[in-house]
Amino acid sequence: MQQNKPLHNQIPKRNQLYRKVLIKLTLETSKMYHIEEMRTRLTLNEQSLSNVHTTDFPGSYSGYNDAWDSRKFISNFRVKIISIDDKEMQFDMIGIDASIANAFRRILIAEVPTMAIEKVFLYNNTSVIQDEVLAHRLGLIPLDVDARLFEFRQTDDLEGTAEDTLDLELNIKCTKNPSAPKDATDPNVMYKHHKVFSGDIVWIPKGNQSDVSCVKPVHDDILIAKLRPGHEIDVKMQAVKGLGRDHAKFSPVATASYRLLPEIKLLSKITGDDVKELQSCFSPGVIGIKQNDQCEEEAYVVSARMDTCSREVFRHPNLKDKVKLSKVKDHFIYSVESAVGLAPNVLVSESIKILMTKCRSFLRELDNAQDKEMDTQ
């Protein structure tokens, strides 16, 4: 006992010290890990989301260097195009702050100019559709034209020029089909031109417009009005360049939006019956099943990308604590659907150009302000 006593006293002391260091070290690493987690991931909890905000500026966390580093940014920033065709495009934008990513979305919706019918001159409309409603419907028809070739029209200009206005015409009259059988009840058989489609709109080139482009509605099968024999629509239209901010008809995208890349972490091994249950909690293809070392079925995450974040797993008490759902804060899965003639990639690059112009003009303003300040001093 006596021999043991000093030992007993010493060892704990040393141990304590050792433990302190160890705790400090683990604290440090776990803190780092935690901060990293907070910086880059938002967590989907059962009732709410946490860490949704961007902390991508210096001084957000003590002991963490968040200073802007353009080299770091360049090395991190990536754009990956997932799929693209002339109507729709999906791409990943990785390593950028939400505000910038959102700026592109906002610009795409509201600030990329397009051409749309703005003025409707009604010469005759004997259909059941009211003049204003007809004009409204015509306005919403997307036109297949590159708005970059045109200028904005002056507000006081009523005529328009070849540089800023497209002239269109819709002239249609419904008649009885003389060759229809007498007992026909189908309006398609009984009448001619009883449906007015966007394809019936005719472009009248103005000046040298026909050399530059060819204008027609993007879709030929948009139903504008239904007619009956004797009804007639005779309108002339002017399409001008405009911004989605002013009216939704000028918005070039059906939708432009993004979502964050989901991330699923299995906190513990999930085996046995739970595997199938887990699989059913996510979109197909998210959770895979593999044979593990113990020859059991074990669940693993194949790809969280497809998950719709329905959080179904939280409804299963046995699985709830074994899964962590989060999203990568700087990984934006963009999807842009073009509504007008331009391809979505063109629209995106347009939006980037617009943002750049804005930045440039902002910088210019700043310079001017600085100059002015200098002048006054």
Measured CA to CA, the distance from residue 329 to residue 182 in angstroms comes to: 67
Contact call for residue 191 and another protein (CB under 8 A): no
Site map 43..72 versus another protein, x via CB under 8 A:
-x--xxxx-xxx------------------
Cβ-proximal residues to 260 (8 Å cutoff; 6+ apart), any chain: 42, 327, 328, 329, 331, 332, 333
Q: Can you give the length of the chain in residues?
A: 377
Contact call for residue 320 and another protein (CB under 8 A): no
Contact call for residue 220 and another protein (CB under 8 A): no
Among 114, 238, 251, 351, binds another protein (CB under 8 A): 251
Contact call for residue 312 and another protein (CB under 8 A): yes
The DSSP symbol for 271 reads B
Give the 3-state secondary structure of residue 73: helix
Site map 145..184 versus another protein, x via CB under 8 A:
----------------------------------------
- Please identify, using beta-carbon distances, which residue of 206 and 259 lies nearer to another protein: 259
CB 235 within 8 A of CB 170: yes
CB-based burial label for 201 (10 Å; 0-12, 13-18, 19+): buried
Contact call for residue 30 and another protein (CB under 8 A): no
CB-based burial label for 63 (10 Å; 0-12, 13-18, 19+): exposed
Cβ neighbours of 169 (radius 10 Å): 15
Contact call for residue 136 and another protein (CB under 8 A): yes
The DSSP symbol for 312 reads G
Contact call for residue 303 and another protein (CB under 8 A): no
Contact call for residue 319 and another protein (CB under 8 A): no
Shortest gap between Cβ of 38 and another protein (angstroms)?
14
Contact call for residue 244 and another protein (CB under 8 A): yes
CB 313 within 8 A of CB 319: yes
Q: Is the dihedral of CA 309, 314, 318, 321 positive or negative?
A: positive
- Please identify, using beta-carbon distances, which residue of 107 and 147 lies nearer to another protein: 107
Cβ-proximal residues to 275 (8 Å cutoff; 6+ apart), any chain: 287, 289, 297, 298, 299
Size of the site for another protein (CB under 8 A): 49
Contact call for residue 296 and another protein (CB under 8 A): no
Shortest gap between Cβ of 21 and another protein (angstroms)?
38
Binding residues for another protein restricted to 324-353, rule: CB under 8 A: 327, 335, 337
Site map 79..118 versus another protein, x via CB under 8 A:
-------------------xx-xxx-xx--xx--------
CB 347 within 8 A of CB 108: yes
Residues that bind another protein (CB under 8 A): 42, 44, 47-50, 52-54, 98-99, 101-103, 105-106, 109-110, 122, 125, 128, 130-133, 136, 140, 244-245, 247-249, 251, 255-260, 283, 308-312, 315, 327, 335, 337
